[in-house]
Amino acid sequence: MNWECAATIRIVRFTLSVKLVEMPMRLDNSPPGGLLTITLRSISLSAAFFFVAVLALSAAELPHIRIENGTGQLIVKGQPFLILGGELGNSSAGTAAQADLIVPRLAAMHVNTALIPVAWEQIEAKEGSFDFSILDHWIETARRHNLHLVLLWFGSWKNAFSNYAPSWVKSDPKRFPRAEAADGRPLEILSSLSAETRRSDSRAFAALMRHVREKDSAQQTVLMVQVENEVGYLGQGGRDRAPEANRLFQGRVSDALTRALVAKRLQFSPELAAHFNQQGQSWSQVFGDAANEVFMAWNYAAYIEAVAHAGKSEYALPMYVNAQLPAPQERAGEYPSGGPHPYYLEVWRAAAPSIDFYSPDIYWPNFEYWAQRYQVPGNAIFVPEARLESASYNALYAYGQARAFGFCPFGIDSLTLPERNDDSIPAIMQTYELLDSVRDLLPAAQAAGLTRGLALHSTSPRPTQTVALGGYLFEATLSRS
């Protein structure tokens, strides 16, 4: 199949002339009573000069998310960029030596973007003193190997808990309070209601983004940033039971949230539509059985909005939040309650306008189901974590059917390159090699609705699947022996 894209640019030569008469102007250092006279005469700007200025402006354009015909695209230096990614293990980016070892290996696997953790405790071990030396080495090493980076901010929360916060935060629960269990026990989860914790996290994140801007804005090695990691409350009942949380939960739902939800009612998920009662006032009245989870979603989203806004004020790269998805039959609190799950995504969107999109970490076999749940209007599809063992075929579904701009199996640094001709090649490496050959064509095909994807494997609920494309029906069947 041949793809052809043609663009015509017409430049018309023009001259802009401005003629101004003498203009008297008093300057601060002019003699008392004196005037400095400036004469502005005809100014001519040629089209060539104007064109150069436009090119310079375009070159400085930041990476950003664009929705094209309902398809989310990551735009880098003016062009759609397809992330063939991989997320490193949680402890794989803590030293410069790890960068020297891992980055060349990823580049050889046709990975073009690595997702690397940046821990709050790593960059601000002492309050107010920042050390970015390890991050700088990762950026420089990635740049040498033509690899891009997505930074994962492990700030107040990582997988719901607060293990990656600095010791000066974790050791001072009076200043940085914890969420509490139903029996009053403090948990190893920083409270989403603490203004002091939010301020400190925001300050550190802003310092990170300022440094990335100073270090990398010209080269744009760093493309995006994930704000926190798999946030949510883990505990019985799915809600923080600290006194301040209880007080707010018994109070009135924010008018801003109610108004935002009423305006988006046609976009509700089935879960939100089943629970939302516009006539109620308290959280329980408005959201019924879902009140605990929605309450936590609103507060986590408001907290993360403050952090993301502080970061974007320094360097406005695309920012997203990821979700740990529930297992079958799990209830809120058994999975991180209040995270950006598809059930109550409109709550997050109302509270966190600085977040560009929301992403699922898909480890469960029903990959297609979760990818579809995040295909809501205005949400770009990006899978920051997926099971490595099934990545080779789930990647094809993500790019083909879900029209994702990026896919990233977790722990990709655990793979090894073949050393001999008869060594097996990692399956995801083979898939990425194939996708790499069409990466410049795929974004346009996605936006035009000309891609399809299938997910056939040993646990597929449908061993035979049919897709329509170009006036043809394609049927795929998985043979079981």
Strand order, beta sheet including 64-68: 64-68, 71-76, 79-81
pLDDT tens-digit series, residues 415-460 = 999 887 777 899 999 999 999 999 999 999 999 999 999 877 777 7
> Can you list the alpha helix ranges (DSSP code H) found in 91-153?
96-108, 120-123, 133-144
Q: pLDDT tens for residues 340-362?
A: 999 999 999 999 999 999 999 99
- CATH code of the domain made up of 63-455: 3.20.20.80
> What is the average pLDDT score of the chain?
89
| Alpha-carbon gap, residue 242 to 158, rounded angstroms | 20
**Distance separating alpha carbons of residues 454 and 476, to the nearest angstrom:** 8
Q: What is the pLDDT of residue 402?
A: 98
Q: List the one residue out of 111, 1, 66 whose CA is nearest residue 443.
A: 66
The reported pLDDT for the residue numbered 480 is: 63
pLDDT at 40: 30
pLDDT of residue 209 exceeding 90, the answer is: yes
pTM: 0.87
SS3 content of the chain, % helix, strand, coil (to 5): 35, 20, 40
**Which segment of 91-95, 279-283, 418-422, 441-445 scores lowest on mean pLDDT?**
418-422
Mean pLDDT of 68-85: 98
pLDDT given at position 456? 77
- Residue 60's pLDDT is 64
What average pLDDT does range 89-97 have in this prediction?
Answer: 96
The pLDDT value given to residue 464: 87
Give me the sign of the Cα torsion angle 71, 77, 83, 88. negative
Whose CA is closest to 62, among 203, 189, 213?
Answer: 213
Residue 1 has a pLDDT of: 34
Average pLDDT on 184-213 reads: 99
As beta bridge partners, residue 362 has 386
pLDDT confidence of 463, banded at 50, 70, 90?
confident
Q: Burial level of 189, CB count in 10 A (0-12/13-18/19+)?
A: buried
Structure tokens at 125: 């071990």
pLDDT-derived band of residue 49, with 50, 70 and 90 as boundaries?
Answer: very low
262-286 mean pLDDT: 97
Q: What are phi and psi of 360, to 5 degrees?
A: -95, 135
| Sign (positive or negative) of CA dihedral 212, 218, 223, 224 | positive
Mean pLDDT for 308-337 is 98
CA 304 from chain centre, in angstroms, equals 12
In the chain, the percentage of residues whose pLDDT exceeds 70 is 87
Which tokens in the block code for residue 464? 């035979």
Residues 14, 15, 17: CA angle, nearest 5 degrees: 155
Q: Are strands 71-76 and 79-81 parallel, antiparallel or unpaired?
A: antiparallel
pLDDT tops 60 at residue 54: no
H helix intervals, 321-408: 345-351, 367-373, 391-400
Sequence-distant (≥ 6) Cβ neighbours of residue 225 within 8 angstroms: 150, 151, 152, 153, 209, 311, 317, 318, 319, 320
pLDDT, residue 26, reads: 38
User: What three-state secondary structure class fits 456?
Assistant: coil
Q: Which residues of 433-449 are buried (b: 16+ CB within 10 A; e: fewer)?
A: eebeeebebbbbbbbee
* Sequence spans of domains, the chain: 11-59, 63-455
In sequence order, which residues have a C-beta less than 8 Å from that of residue 161 and are 6 or more positions away?
188, 189, 234
Tens-place pLDDT, residues 147-178: 999 999 999 999 999 999 999 999 999 999 99
Which residues are within 8 A (CB) of 422 and not within 5 positions of it... i.e. 6 or more apart?
A: none
Q: Angle, to 10 degrees, between the axis of helix 427-436 and the axis of helix 391-400?
A: 30
Q: Cα separation of 75 and 17, whole Å? A: 36
Q: Report the pLDDT value the prediction gives residue 478, as an integer from 0 to 100.
A: 81
